[in-house]
């Protein structure tokens, strides 16, 4: 409290860089570095038998170092600038999504890339952050103490639905879910009535059966059946859809309490699990470090995200609070969905485990989220005008 | 202000609820980890331990085939081979070219290797060349060390040490084709069928295509073993795991009754002639030699014979692929006269009753000729046999009638397939009225009975049946049955009961056959002496007509052999047994297009029988005793 009081006494313009850095929650940063190290070790274990993949762990570490730098840069940008940048960022990204729809590059059956000069960008990734900022900005301007009203949430819904629909069409089911999930968390935070939430839940449950019967194609229905079968422990066709998840379960289960030892997991070492260095990296950790290792990683993440919520709670501005919760929700969605998927609790949709899975995009998105979170932390006492640039 | 406080606290409350909801979800995941890792961990650990273990089929060693003295006829030997693994080879073309500098490897073979290597997984090995010579193997073993991905190793290969000698009896093995596979799995359960299909995909696995190799496939094959291999998900072998209880069970051996040396001698004796010979042990019916020459070399088939080589075998007019002794059927000609004479005796015809032969026989408005143009004069049965008088046999055949002739023929072993446990085998034809109506839709004409009497016409028999006839005579009518598998899967097909032959009648036949080879007027009197200073043989000549001799030719004097195209010349036949006084061995010899039974077939039979006796220590000891006791070279006990 003493530190907060001292910080609040200093105006932003008076701060030195060293002073600002000293204020950062270094414990949180240390935990992020730890997670990335665990990811690098798991990658090393899962790839060292294959000479073609020998460079992956090193590239993972380098990417993390770069992302860490980007996080600090974002963190040091004053929160007021993020507030003013929110709408432009959202609409530019939305325009890029429309651009993808019109002139996008198609790779692997999905149209997600936009060629901007020499580089190909994936606007849907930017949208995760932009949407969070836009919703934060929207509620910062419009949410007042008397606004328990339902209608205030309709524009927010609209802000979510438009990019979500565009991304769904690419198609990119994982990112769509991420946007809807983090957006829903923000609407919930803004105080949507419980009776409406309950109604939405009931409607969702009620529509499951008709959707299964009349909307899904045969092959989709087959996938749902397979998923439900393995969930209830029935034997599934292990050569088909169920193969990956079955092998993942064998890997995780065989880890037991303490795991089979670093680089000793047969499932991982013999390449039994497709995508084991990307989406299914948790199987390597669970197999080789056991229950202790897997829950350890989950606990670390829970601590990081919890810390994020504490930062949100301490923010004096609505924008800061909503932006922080949105960032936490975005990262949390990835973690929860990825782990649930690897554990066979939800159908396999390509969602990576942040900082652990190999892959650049999710790493940058994640670290950018933490950059915003740290920026909120630094600017936690800024009250911020509701009159922005836009 | 209070509502603003409410607003603040509601925000805080919702932030906390959000966190709590996240906590609940995290706990759910941990609960799932508890379920999978702590409660079901042991089960999954077991699955994981077996997951990477693949059972690779290890082919069993095929059972060997031996002759009666344990000489291997079919066995396996280690053969060197070079193989290549695509993913370990930086440049396939260059590596193969490098190999080709040291061993013979033509360009099209190299292309085949590259194509085959590309068609399979990159870590699987492709055989570049099998059957390396010792020198090639030694060279490749040295070179392989410096050629990444190249390996020289040994593999068990089916081998036939006696080469062509037993080609038709043994048959050969080859890689199982899809036809073979569907035949082999015909009566198998789906599990067995898929196991067999896997087994026969193994590059070292072979299946019998003909002969005993095919007929006794189940006996010879053995049971596959398994190798426990740790493999990754793509099937790449990481290492081989130890296991003792999974070794393959070798196939069972087969002991044949044949004598490899006798067979060799018999084939040598044929020289360039094509033909067949069968030697039977009269005591037991065991086949001692089963010759069909020329033959193919079954070793050529084991690793696949080239199309050109196979075509050359197929188009050879001496039919090396054909098992003449078992699948070939010939008109028995005059060798059949013992059957006719036996039928006559059974019909009550007096053997001393003479028939006058003036060189031809008239029946209806046709004339049947005797082979001796001037005729034999007045002949009784004994004289008719040793002189092979056709007229005598025309006469008695007509008296006996076709039905009785057919019946006696069958009792000598004609007209039925003798299942020896190899592939093939033909029974020939014993014609009678019913047969002719069924086969040709015509009734039997009495004139045809005359041809029957001299072993021509529709009648046909295999060399095996001719040897069997000879053996049954020499065994004094005992209905011995031929067999070739001494130890192994003997066919258990029941042999139809037949009325035994009268020993007294058989004694007369033996006397007649002795006359042929050892009495003045015998058609093969020069071939009676076995050249062993004692025992003699008794036999009967025969000529199987390949074409009919026209009346015009007959008038102009039948063309001499040299003037007729080889393929139109008659087959020379000879059946015999020896020693004449105490029969041990029966033989039949067919020299295709050899023309004269006495001139070509009889000397061959004599020499083979001499070898058989010389190789029989018991017999040799006995006739030496007899020879010294009687003090003379003439040990013949027959009058």
In chain A, residues 304-363 whose CB comes closer than 8 Å to chain B: 305-306, 309, 312-313, 321, 325, 329, 332, 336, 339-340, 343-345
What pLDDT is stored for residue A386 in this prediction? 65
Q: How far is CA B198 from CA A61, B118, B201, B203, in A?
A: 46, 21, 5, 11
Of A250, A295, A336, the CB nearest to B48: A250
Q: Please check whether residue A12 lies inside any domain of the structure.
A: no
What pLDDT is stored for residue B635 in this prediction? 35
Identify which of A265, A232, A263 has the alpha carbon closest to the alpha carbon of residue A248.
Answer: A265
Average pLDDT over residues A114-118: 75
Taking an 8 Å cut-off on Cβ atoms, the answer to whether A340 and B29 are in contact is yes
Burial class from Cβ neighbours inside 10 Å (0-12, 13-18, 19+) for residue A101 reads middle
Taking an 8 Å cut-off on Cβ atoms, the answer to whether B44 and A340 are in contact is no
Average pLDDT over residues A159-168: 92
Under the banding of pLDDT at 50, 70 and 90, the label for residue B522 is confident
The verdict on B154 touching A (C-beta cutoff 8 Å) is no
Chain B closest-CA separation from residue A188 CA (Å): 7
Burial profile A169-191: b = 16 or more Cβ within 10 angstroms, e = fewer: ebebebbbbbbbbbbbbbbbbbb
Burial class from Cβ neighbours inside 10 Å (0-12, 13-18, 19+) for residue A84 reads middle
pLDDT digits (tens, 9 = 90+) for B554-568: 455 555 555 557 777
Average pLDDT over residues B201-218: 89
Q: Which of A183, A185, A253, A343 best probes binding to B when mutated, by most B CB atoms within 10 angstroms?
A: A253
Taking an 8 Å cut-off on Cβ atoms, the answer to whether A252 and B51 are in contact is no
Angstrom distance (rounded) from CA B397 to CA B448: 10
What pLDDT is stored for residue B628 in this prediction? 53
Angstrom distance (rounded) from CA B65 to CA B167: 13
- Per the listing, tokens 């994640």 go with A366
The verdict on B18 touching A (C-beta cutoff 8 Å) is yes
In chain A, residues 20-59 whose CB comes closer than 8 Å to chain B: none
Q: Which of A145, A182, A286 best probes binding to B when mutated, by most B CB atoms within 10 angstroms?
A: A145
Angstrom distance (rounded) from CA A215 to CA B469: 84
Taking an 8 Å cut-off on Cβ atoms, the answer to whether A336 and B47 are in contact is no
Q: Is the pLDDT of residue A241 over 60?
A: no
Identify which of B590, B593, B596 has the alpha carbon closest to the alpha carbon of residue B566.
Answer: B593
Average pLDDT over residues A12-27: 78
Domain ranges of chain B: 55-256
Taking an 8 Å cut-off on Cβ atoms, the answer to whether B6 and A145 are in contact is yes
Taking an 8 Å cut-off on Cβ atoms, the answer to whether A270 and B15 are in contact is no
Q: Please check whether residue A238 lies inside any domain of the structure.
A: yes
Taking an 8 Å cut-off on Cβ atoms, the answer to whether B29 and A336 are in contact is yes
Residue in B with minimal Cα distance to A272:
B233
Residue in B with minimal Cα distance to A332:
B22
Angstrom distance (rounded) from CA A226 to CA A309: 37
Q: What contacts 24+ positions apart, CB below 8 Å, involve A77-82?
A: A77/A375, A78/A12, A78/A375, A78/A378, A78/A379, A78/A382, A79/A317, A79/A319, A79/A320, A79/A375, A79/A376, A79/A378, A79/A379, A79/A382, A79/A384, A80/A379, A80/A382, A80/A384, A82/A133, A82/A319, A82/A323, A82/A372, A82/A375
B450 Cβ partners below 8 Å, 6+ apart? B361, B363, B368, B394, B397, B398
Average pLDDT over residues B204-231: 87
- Per the listing, tokens 């490899």 go with B260
Q: In this structure, are residues A281 and A46 in contact, taking their beta carbons and an 8 Å threshold?
A: yes
- Per the listing, tokens 């036809």 go with B179
Average pLDDT over residues A282-310: 94
Average pLDDT over residues A32-44: 94
Q: Please check whether residue A229 lies inside any domain of the structure.
A: yes
Q: Over chain B, what is the mean pLDDT?
A: 86
Taking an 8 Å cut-off on Cβ atoms, the answer to whether B52 and A266 are in contact is yes
Taking an 8 Å cut-off on Cβ atoms, the answer to whether B51 and A312 are in contact is no
pLDDT digits (tens, 9 = 90+) for B474-518: 999 999 999 999 888 888 777 777 788 999 999 999 999 999 998
Average pLDDT over residues A14-36: 87
Ranges A45-54, A75-84, A347-356, B279-288: which has the least confidence: A45-54
Percentage of chain B modeled with pLDDT above 90:
47
What pLDDT is stored for residue A233 in this prediction? 64
What pLDDT is stored for residue B633 in this prediction? 38
On the question of a cis peptide bond just before residue B579, with omega within 30 degrees of 0, the verdict is yes
Average pLDDT over residues B411-430: 91
Q: Which of B10, B44, B241 best probes binding to A when mutated, by most A CB atoms within 10 angstroms?
A: B44
Taking an 8 Å cut-off on Cβ atoms, the answer to whether A295 and B33 are in contact is yes
Q: Is the pLDDT of residue B258 over 90?
A: yes
- The strand pairing partners of B275, in sequence order, are B293, B591
- The single-letter DSSP state of residue B39 is I
CA dihedral A343, A347, A353, A356 (to 10 degrees): 60
Chain A closest-CA separation from residue B229 CA (Å): 12
pLDDT digits (tens, 9 = 90+) for B113-129: 888 888 877 777 788 88
Q: Please check whether residue A187 lies inside any domain of the structure.
A: yes
Angstrom distance (rounded) from CA B581 to CA B426: 32
Q: Is the pLDDT of residue A204 over 50?
A: yes
In the Cβ-directed half-sphere of B465, how many Cα atoms lie within 13 Å?
32
Identify which of A329, A376, A363, A306 has the alpha carbon closest to the alpha carbon of residue A69.
Answer: A363
List of chain B residues whose C-beta atoms are within 8 Å of the C-beta of residue A345: 28-29, 32
Q: Which of B13, B29, B88 best probes binding to A when mutated, by most A CB atoms within 10 angstroms?
A: B29
Between B398 and A151, the more confident residue is: B398
How many helices (H) and strands (E) chain A has is answered by 15, 3
Taking an 8 Å cut-off on Cβ atoms, the answer to whether B51 and A270 are in contact is yes
CB pairs under 8 A between A and B: 135
The verdict on B533 touching A (C-beta cutoff 8 Å) is no
What pLDDT is stored for residue B558 in this prediction? 53
* Domain region containing A163: 17-378
pLDDT digits (tens, 9 = 90+) for A210-222: 888 877 777 777 7
Of A247, A290, A312, the CB nearest to B15: A312
List of chain A residues whose C-beta atoms are within 8 Å of the C-beta of residue B232: 269-272
Q: Determine how β-strand B254-256 pairs with β-strand B65-66.
A: parallel
Q: At what angle do helices B503-518 and B463-474 cross, to 10 degrees?
A: 110
User: Total structural domains in chain A?
Assistant: 1
Average pLDDT over residues B593-611: 87
Under the banding of pLDDT at 50, 70 and 90, the label for residue B438 is very high
The verdict on B29 touching A (C-beta cutoff 8 Å) is yes
E strand or H helix at B255: strand B254-256
Instruction: Please give the CATH superfamily to which domain B55-256 belongs.
Output: Penicillin-binding protein 2a (Domain 2) (3.90.1310.10)
Average pLDDT over residues B283-304: 92
Chain A closest-CA separation from residue B33 CA (Å): 7
Q: In this structure, are residues B174 and B207 in contact, taking their beta carbons and an 8 Å threshold?
A: yes
The verdict on B88 touching A (C-beta cutoff 8 Å) is no
- The strand pairing partners of B66, in sequence order, are B72, B255
């Amino acid at each position: 409290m003493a530190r907060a009081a001292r910080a609040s006494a200093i105006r932003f313009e008076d701060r030195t860089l060293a002073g600002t850095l000293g204020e950062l929650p270094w414990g949180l940063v240390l935990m992020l570095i730890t997670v990335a190290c665990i990811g690098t070790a798991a990658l090393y274990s899962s790839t060292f038998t294959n000479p073609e993949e020998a460079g992956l762990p090193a590239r993972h570490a380098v990417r993390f170092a770069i992302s860490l730098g980007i996080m600090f840069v974002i963190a040091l940008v004053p929160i007021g600038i993020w507030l003013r940048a929110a709408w432009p960022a959202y609409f530019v990204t939305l325009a890029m999504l429309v651009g993808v729809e019109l002139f996008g590059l198609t790779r692997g059956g999905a149209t997600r890339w936009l060629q901007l000069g020499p580089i190909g960008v994936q606007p849907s990734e930017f949208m995760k952050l932009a949407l969070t900022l836009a919703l934060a900005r929207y509620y910062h301007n419009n949410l007042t103490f008397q606004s328990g009203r339902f209608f205030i949430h309709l524009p927010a819904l609209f802000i979510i639905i438009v990019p979500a629909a565009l991304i769904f069409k690419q198609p990119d089911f994982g990112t769509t879910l991420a946007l809807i999930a983090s957006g829903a968390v923000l609407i919930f935070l803004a105080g949507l009535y419980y009776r409406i939430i309950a109604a939405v839940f009931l409607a969702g449950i009620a529509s499951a059966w008709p959707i299964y019967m009349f909307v899904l194609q045969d092959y989709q229905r087959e996938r749902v059946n397979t998923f439900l079968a393995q969930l209830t422990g029935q034997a599934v066709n292990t050569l088909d859809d169920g193969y990956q998840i079955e092998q993942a379960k064998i890997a995780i289960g065989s880890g037991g309490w303490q795991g089979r030892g670093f680089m000793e997991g047969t499932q991982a070492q013999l390449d039994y699990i497709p995508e084991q260095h990307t989406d299914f990296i948790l199987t390597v950790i669970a197999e080789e470090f056991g229950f202790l290792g897997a829950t350890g990683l989950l606990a670390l993440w829970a601590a990081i995200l919890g810390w994020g919520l504490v930062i949100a709670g301490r923010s004096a501005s609505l924008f800061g609070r909503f932006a922080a919760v949105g960032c936490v929700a975005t990262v949390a969605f990835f973690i929860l969905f990825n782990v649930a998927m690897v554990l066979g609790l939800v159908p396999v949709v390509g969602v990576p485990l942040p900082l652990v899975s190999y892959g650049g995009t999710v790493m940058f998105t994640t670290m950018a989220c933490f950059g915003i979170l740290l920026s909120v932390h630094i600017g936690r006492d800024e009250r911020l005008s509701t009159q922005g640039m836009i | 202000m209070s509502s603003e406080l409410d607003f603040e606290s509601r925000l805080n409350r919702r932030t906390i609820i959000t966190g709590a909801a996240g906590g609940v979800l995290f706990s759910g995941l941990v609960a799932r980890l508890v379920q999978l890792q702590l409660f079901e961990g042991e089960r999954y650990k077991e699955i994981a331990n077996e997951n990477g273990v693949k059972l690779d089929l290890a082919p069993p060693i095929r059972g060997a085939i031996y002759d009666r003295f344990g000489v291997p006829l079919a066995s396996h030997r280690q053969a060197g081979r070079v193989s290549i693994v695509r993913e370990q080879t930086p440049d396939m073309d260059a590596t193969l070219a490098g190999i080709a500098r040291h061993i013979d490897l033509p360009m099209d073979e190299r292309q085949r290797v590259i194509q085959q290597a590309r068609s399979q997984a990159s870590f699987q090995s492709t055989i570049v060349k099998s059957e390396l010579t010792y020198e090639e193997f030694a060279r490749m073993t040295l070179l392989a060390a410096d050629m990444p991905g190249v390996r020289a190793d040994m593999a068990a290969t089916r081998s036939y040490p006696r080469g062509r000698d037993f080609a038709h009896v043994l048959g050969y093995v080859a890689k199982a084709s899809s036809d073979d596979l569907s035949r082999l799995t015909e009566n198998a359960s789906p599990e067995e069928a898929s196991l067999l299909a896997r087994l026969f995909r193994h590059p070292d696995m072979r299946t019998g295509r003909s002969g005993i190799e095919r007929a006794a496939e189940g006996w010879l094959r053995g049971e596959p073993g398994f190798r426990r291999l740790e493999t990754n998900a793509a099937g790449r072998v990481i290492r081989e795991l130890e296991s003792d209880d999974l070794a393959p069970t070798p196939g069972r051996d087969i002991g044949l009754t044949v004598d490899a040396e006798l067979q060799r001698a018999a084939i040598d004796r044929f020289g360039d002639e094509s033909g067949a010979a069968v030697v039977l042990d009269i005591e037991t019916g065991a086949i001692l030699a089963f010759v069909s020459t020329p033959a193919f070399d079954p070793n050529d088939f084991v690793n696949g014979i080239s199309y050109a080589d196979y075509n050359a075998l197929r188009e050879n007019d001496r039919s090396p692929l054909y098992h003449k002794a078992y699948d070939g059927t010939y008109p028995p000609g005059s060798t059949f006269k013992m059957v006719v004479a036996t039928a006559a005796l059974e019909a009550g015809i007096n053997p001393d009753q003479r028939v006058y032969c003036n060189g031809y026989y008239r029946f209806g408005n046709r004339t049947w000729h005797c082979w001796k143009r001037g005729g034999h004069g007045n002949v009784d049965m004994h004289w008719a046999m040793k002189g092979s008088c056709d007229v005598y046999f025309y006469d008695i055949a007509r008296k006996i009638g076709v039905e009785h002739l057919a019946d006696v023929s069958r009792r000598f072993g004609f007209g039925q397939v003798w299942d020896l446990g190899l592939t093939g085998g033909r029974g020939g034809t014993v014609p009678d009225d019913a047969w002719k109506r069924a086969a040709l839709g015509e009734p039997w004409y009495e004139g045809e009975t005359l041809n029957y009497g001299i072993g021509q016409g529709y009648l046909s028999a295999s060399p095996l049946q001719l040897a069997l006839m000879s053996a049954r005579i020499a065994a004094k009518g005992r209905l011995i049955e031929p067999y070739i598998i001494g130890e192994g899967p003997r066919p258990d097909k029941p042999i139809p009961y037949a009325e035994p032959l009268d020993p007294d009648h058989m004694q007369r036949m033996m006397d007649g056959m002795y006359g042929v080879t050892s009495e003045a007027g015998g058609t093969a009197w020069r071939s009676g002496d076995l050249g062993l200073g004692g025992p003699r043989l008794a036999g009967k000549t025969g000529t199987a007509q390949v074409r009919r001799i026209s009346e015009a030719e007959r008038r102009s004097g039948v063309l001499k052999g040299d003037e007729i195209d080889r393929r139109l010349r008659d087959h020379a036949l000879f059946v015999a047994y020896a020693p004449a006084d105490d029969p041990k061995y029966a033989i039949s010899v067919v020299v295709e297009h050899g023309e004269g039974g006495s001139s070509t077939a009889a000397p061959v039979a004599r020499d083979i029988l001499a070898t058989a006796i010389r190789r029989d220590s018991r017999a040799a000891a006995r006739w030496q005793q007899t020879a010294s006791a009687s003090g003379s070279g003439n040990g013949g006990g027959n009058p």
